[in-house]
Amino acid sequence: MHTYDEPVYLISIVSKILDIHPQTLRQYERENLITPSRSDGRIRLYSQRDIDRIKLILRLTREMGVNLAGVDVALRLKEQIDTMEQEIAELRYQLAQAKQSTSVPPEKALVTKKSIYEMIIFEEK
């Protein structure tokens, strides 16, 4: 069994799986919507992740009527959201770790405000 990111599918196989013309896949590559891997002989190889991305592109164009420029914007926004969701998950984990490691429960901790005034003492000479 192949991993999700392993490039194993030829363009002819992907076009049959998705019922699209190989030129459509080449167009998506020219538009930088997909970036299939290349073999040593420069043959395009697609991973399952690539196929899922192409399915999303087809859904946006066919079902929602989005043009390729709009698809590009949508995909970039999706990537940003995915990155932010990962960062939020990491921050939540760090927060949970910090809450568990404190010796005093946060609701019982004494917090004092620092004064905004500073005292300056001048020495007389």
pLDDT digits (tens, 9 = 90+) for 34-63: 999 999 999 999 999 999 999 999 999 999
User: Which DSSP symbol is given to 37?
Assistant: E
* pTM for the full predicted model: 0.71
Question: Residue 29: phi, psi to the nearest 5?
Answer: -70, -40
Mean pLDDT value across residues 85-90: 96
In this structure, the number of other CB atoms found within 10 A of the CB of residue 51 comes to 18
Residue 114: pLDDT band (50, 70, 90) is low
Tokens, residue 110? 């004494």
Task: Please tell me whether residue 46 adopts helix, strand or coil conformation.
Answer: strand
Domains and their CATH numbers in the chain: 9-102 (1.10.1660.10)
Alpha-carbon span 19 to 57, nearest angstrom: 13
pLDDT(23) > 60? yes
